[in-house]
């Protein structure tokens, strides 16, 4: 039996990009998939791409955090107790600190951090009572180090990193697995949907999400492998890449990493 067989797996942000590819790849196993995103039509398209798999779609805007508990209760009542929760939904942002409205910080933190905390907490009681379960969050390399014009996104991902680390320590005794996966540059629409300083969508792919990025399917395959192997923290980047080099510098040569962060231009690399 495959690791994912007979499991109920909930994937958020499943309407496009990595989330969609996760759903498509997981649909090859004998599991039940719950897919959530804001855009119903795109969710239906994802379901169609999953073929004859057991896929349930639940459109929902996770930024409505006050409604998450009721939403999650309904999903679990109708489908069943969650075995694996994959927190993938999120939004990026690209602007300098000075020109960024405070509301942009609030909006990004709401979706990229608070909604994950809320949804995770909603499935934890069931996992704890069963002494079984797995919580996976898709973070970013910017959850480990930050560069200029990424303060909003990096702040949210740093918060997520800390939350997942603490959660892992707390639920270890309950046999619950907690995994953080951190992609680098991936070909998705996240750059187009990224927020600018005034909260409007950027509208075009930045360097980080153009044709130089990893294919979303490749990233999804790597993430699925990491989940099955219970990788505590996994970087979804090529072995030989600038991103991996930057991670190394951030850990062992922080001064040099800081200099790179000051001068790094995503449009030129």
pLDDT tens for 132-159 read 999 999 999 999 988 889 999 999 999 9
pLDDT tens for 79-112 read 999 999 999 999 999 899 999 999 999 999 999 9
Residues marked as catalytic: 153
pLDDT tens for 221-255 read 999 999 999 999 999 988 766 677 777 766 777 77
Which residues on adjacent β-strands are paired with residue 86?
11, 136
Total count of domains within the chain: 1
What's the pLDDT band for 266 if we cut at 50, 70, 90? low
What's the pLDDT band for 119 if we cut at 50, 70, 90? very high
pLDDT tens for 184-223 read 889 887 777 888 898 887 765 554 444 468 999 999 999 9
Q: Is residue 267 part of a domain?
A: no
CATH of the domain at 12: 3.40.50.720
Question: CB of 93 within 8 A of CB of 153?
Answer: yes
- How many helices (H) and strands (E) would you count in the chain? 10, 7
Q: Is residue 109 part of a domain?
A: yes
Question: CB of 100 within 8 A of CB of 93?
Answer: yes
CA distances, 208 to each of 87, 175, 211, 269 (Å): 21, 37, 9, 9
Q: Is residue 265 part of a domain?
A: no
Q: Is residue 165 part of a domain?
A: yes
Q: Is residue 38 part of a domain?
A: yes
Burial bucket for residue 262 (CB in 10 Å: 0-12, 13-18, 19+): exposed
List the domain range (segments joined by +) for residue 26.
8-240
Q: Is residue 246 part of a domain?
A: no
CA distances, 197 to each of 24, 87, 139, 146, 265 (Å): 34, 25, 21, 17, 17
pLDDT tens for 29-68 read 999 999 999 999 999 999 999 999 999 999 999 999 999 9
């Amino acid at each position: 039996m495959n690791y994912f067989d007979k499991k109920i797996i909930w994937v958020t942000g499943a309407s496009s990009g990595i989330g969609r590819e996760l759903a498509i790849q997981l649909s090859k196993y004998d599991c039940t998939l719950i897919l959530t995103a804001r855009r119903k039509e795109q969710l239906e398209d994802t379901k169609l791409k999953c073929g004859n798999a057991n896929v349930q779609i639940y459109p929902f805007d996770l930024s409505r955090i006050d409604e998450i508990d009721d939403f999650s209760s309904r999903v679990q009542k109708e489908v069943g107790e969650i075995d694996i929760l994959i927190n993938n939904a999120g939004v990026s942002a690209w602007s300098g600190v000075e020109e960024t409205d405070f509301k942009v910080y609030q909006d990004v933190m709401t979706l990229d951090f608070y909604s994950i905390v809320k949804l995770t907490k909603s499935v934890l009681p069931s996992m704890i009572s069963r002494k079984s379960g797995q919580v996976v969050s898709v973070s970013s390399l910017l959850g480990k180090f930050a560069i200029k014009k990424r303060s909003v996104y990096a702040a949210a991902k740093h918060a997520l990193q800390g939350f997942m680390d603490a959660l892992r320590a707390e639920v270890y005794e309950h046999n619950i697995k907690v995994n953080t996966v951190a992609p680098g540059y991936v070909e998705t629409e996240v750059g187009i949907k990224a927020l600018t300083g005034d909260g409007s969508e950027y509208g075009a792919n930045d360097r980080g999400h153009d044709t130089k990025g990893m294919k979303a399917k490749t990233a999804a395959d790597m993430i699925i492998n990491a989940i099955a192997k219970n990788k505590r923290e996994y970087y979804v980047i090529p072995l030989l890449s600038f991103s991996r080099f930057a991670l190394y510098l951030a850990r062992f040569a922080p001064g040099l990493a800081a200099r790179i962060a000051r001068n790094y231009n995503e449009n030129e690399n």
